[in-house]
Amino acid sequence: MGIGKFRGSGASAFCAAAAIIIDLALLIVFKYSGFIVENINAVSGLGLPVPQIQMPIGISFFTFQAISYIMDCLWETVPPQKSFWKFLLYLSLFPQLVAGPIVRYSVIEEEITNRRSRPSDVSEGAMRAIIGLSKKVIIANNLYAVVEQFFGGDISNMSFLGTWYTVILYSLYVYFDFSGYSDIAIGLGRMFGFHFNENFNYPFICKSISEFWQRWHISLSSFFRDYLFYVPIFGKQRKYLNLFLVWFCTGMWHGASWNFILWGLYFGIFIFIETKIGKKRMKKWNKVLTHIYSKLIIIIGFGIFYFTDLSKLGQFFLNISGASMILSGNSFSDILTLNSLLNNLFLIIFAIIVSMPVLPKIKYFFFTWGNNKVYAFGKIAGTIICCGLLVLSSILLVDNTNNPFLYFRF
């Protein structure tokens, strides 16, 4: 509000800076204090007690929403919200509070005050949320079971193909898990009349790493683009330093662990290289090759994302590069991988198909291209399929309840 009052003067910038510093300080205390102290201990040998702080749910998301609000007010893209309650409503909007997306204030500014929820909003929103739930429960959870089977324990004697197989499934898992959550959030929001922006746009069809990040977790990458990259912290001439700062922060945002930072910087490097090459030149490249290049980088990237334990991450690199075949005689392929592939073949094929923009094409056919009859058929069939998916997801969730394998009667 201070920003609004002193609009255009230096005081507004001061208010904004103070608010952002407080927000970030809270985030650092809750999320990163353990990590920071552990690292200080490791470097200095001081035995500082590592604080065990319970993180408030969704802190990374609502902190960023607050920052985006402050910046938008500062830059006068939106008028400040005069009602404190409505501001709180924006910050704690429950559909996306837990797992994103990061909703910009400008996106829902109008809808916070004037919102209409039509029958079509409720119906579309509900279907979207059910599809999100199904992505999580039917696809992601089952892919993760395979990933844990292979990556969960000791990975030192994993075969070359086994490592590739598992990390590919893990990449699919993260996509379905995360985009499933976003679908649920967007769907729930829609049911109440909010129109959030899309957070994923079929990232695996990208042809470059830059494009991947325009399609993956869009609300986060655009946040960093708008609020960090374009802010010339290191001066306009040193924009590459800024680029790496952005990717450092992107990695860090995902979790308080070195592998996430490494993961962010890893993408930073490829985006740096891609900007040096230039978009136009890359467009002329063979499409098949660019697809292979981008998928390889992304999939290996998810390996970095998985292994929070750096020694296991090192072993992962040895396995996936084939080095452990030479160094410690690991096999090229193994029977367990082959079997797992056969046991999950349809699931994997289905997941790969759904990770490509098939659903929008179906929707276009029924809801836009077709006549009213086709529309009606599509709507009813879609409803029934969603009901089936809801029931199926609920049933599969029963199996996720605790399953401790304890024996009381034997």
The residues assigned a catalytic role are 254
Shortest approach of other proteins to residue 14 CB, angstroms?
40
Between 236 and 373, CB nearer to other proteins: 373
d(CA 64, CA 101): 10
Q: Is 75 in the site for other proteins (CB under 8 A)?
A: no
Q: Using the rule CB under 8 A, is 364 a contact of other proteins?
A: yes
Give the range of 78-86, 210-218, 272-280, 399-407 binding other proteins by CB under 8 A.
399-407
Q: Among residues 82, 116, 118, 236, which is the contact residue for other proteins, using CB under 8 A?
A: 118
State yes or no: residue 163 binds other proteins (CB under 8 A).
Answer: no
Tokens linked to 154: 């000791």
Kindly list the distances between the CA atom of residue 195 and the CA atoms of 34, 126, 147, 249, in Å, as whole numbers in the listed order: 37, 13, 34, 28
Residue 7 per-residue DSSP state? T
Vertex 190: Cα angle to 187 and 191 (nearest 5): 90
Are 185 and 121 in contact, with CB atoms under 8 Å apart?
no
Q: Measured from the CB atom, is 199 or 340 closer to other proteins?
A: 340
- Residue pair 139/354 in contact (Cβ under 8 Å)? The answer is yes
Helices 258-277, 239-254: inter-axial angle, 10-degree rounding:
150
Give the binding range for other proteins (CB under 8 A) out of 44-52, 91-99, 319-327, 331-339.
331-339
Task: State the nearest-atom distance from the C-beta of 309 to other proteins, in Å.
Answer: 12
Record the tokens describing residue 324, joined without a space.
């452990």
- Give the Cβ contact number of residue 257 at 10 Å: 17
- Minimum distance, C-beta of residue 401 to other proteins, in the bound complex (Å): 4
Task: Please state, in angstroms and rounded to a whole number, the distance separating the CA atoms of residues 64 and 151.
Answer: 32
Q: Residue 266 and residue 187: Cα distance in Å, rounded?
A: 33
Please state the closest distance from residue 138 (CB atom) to other proteins, in A: 9
Q: Which stretch binds other proteins (CB under 8 A): 57-65, 85-93, 224-232, 344-352?
A: 344-352
- As given in the structure block, the two tokens for residue 340 are 């797992």
CB of 118 to other proteins, least distance (A): 7
DSSP, collapsed to helix, strand or coil, labels residue 68 as helix
Told to check if 371 binds other proteins by CB under 8 A, we report: yes
* Calculated CA dihedral for residues 113, 114, 119, 120, nearest 10 degrees: -100
Say whether residue 116 binds other proteins (CB under 8 A): no
Residue 134 in the binding site for other proteins (CB under 8 A): no
Q: Binding segment for other proteins among 24-32, 228-236, 243-251, 384-392 (CB under 8 A)?
A: 384-392
List residues binding other proteins (CB under 8 A): 118-120, 122-124, 126-128, 142, 149-150, 152-154, 157, 335-336, 339-340, 342-347, 360, 363-364, 367-368, 370-373, 375-376, 379-380, 382-384, 386-387, 390-392, 394-396, 398-399, 401-403, 405-410
